[in-house]
Chain A
Amino acid sequence: EAGVVQSPRYKIIEKKQPVAFWCNPISGHNTLYWYRQNLGQGPELLIRYENEEAVDDSQLPKDRFSAERLKGVDSTLKIQPAELGDSAVYLCASSLVLTSGYQETQYFGPGTRLLVL
């Protein structure tokens, strides 16, 4: 069974440019997460989707970051415009959340390493 797929793996852009990351979760997983991992730190949640609904985006910097999961499957995270401080690894994860609220384990993709110059 395929794991979480992310692309691109690496991206180098100049500041003020836009950038987008794509994630395809594990088949059947209804919940998708975007995390940001700064160098030497643990991942921090940016946004969580249950199907196509963003149910927790409290940590997403909404002035420049946006995300969508239109059909409840794959998702795109966008930054526009990028700033130097956005350099980080952007991780996507997915899990199955049952109607009872019980969440199965989150599985992570390989991440997109972003460098803003």
Chain B
Amino acid sequence: AQKVTQAQTEISVVEKEDVTLDCVYETRDTTYYLFWYKQPPSGELVFLIRRNSFDEQNEISGRYSWNFQKSTSSFNFTITASQVVDSAVYFCALSEATIQGAQKLVFGQGTRLTINP
């Protein structure tokens, strides 16, 4: 069965510090997708990134960067120069293939990130 582990339940840093959120996954599929979503206090899950299992290139988008390493089954997320607006719960998710071909998401338990001014 697929499983996503986010070992950090809560992280608190001071604004402008860099912070890394860890994500470790388990799957038997050779083809899968990994995601990060942000959930601000308003409750909506905001899509941040999607990465397929064949693409191990790291990605950078502004202050956000992602490090995908198949060898360690990890997909870590780094925020550089954090800002108060980055405060939210962040979820890592894995898509598994179903017999119908489409994919459902399996989420980790989330990491609550607090950026203090």
Binding site for B on A (CB under 8 A): 31, 33, 40-45, 48, 50, 55-56, 89, 91, 93, 97, 100-101, 103, 105-111, 113
Contact = CB atoms under 8 A, between A and B. Distances in A.
B62 interface: no
Given A55-B102, A100-B101, A111 B107 contact: no
26 contacts: A40-B109, A41-B109, A42-B108, A43-B105, A45-B104, A48-B102, A48-B104, A50-B100, A55-B100, A55-B102, A56-B100, A89-B43, A91-B45, A97-B101, A101-B97, A101-B100, A101-B102, A103-B102, A106-B105, A107-B47, A108-B37, A108-B44, A108-B47, A110-B43, A110-B44, A111-B44
Chain A binding site: helix, strand, loop or mixed by DSSP?
Answer: strand
Interface in B58-103: 91, 93, 95, 97-98, 100-103
Interface of B: 4, 35, 37, 42-47, 50, 91, 93, 95, 97-98, 100-105, 107-110
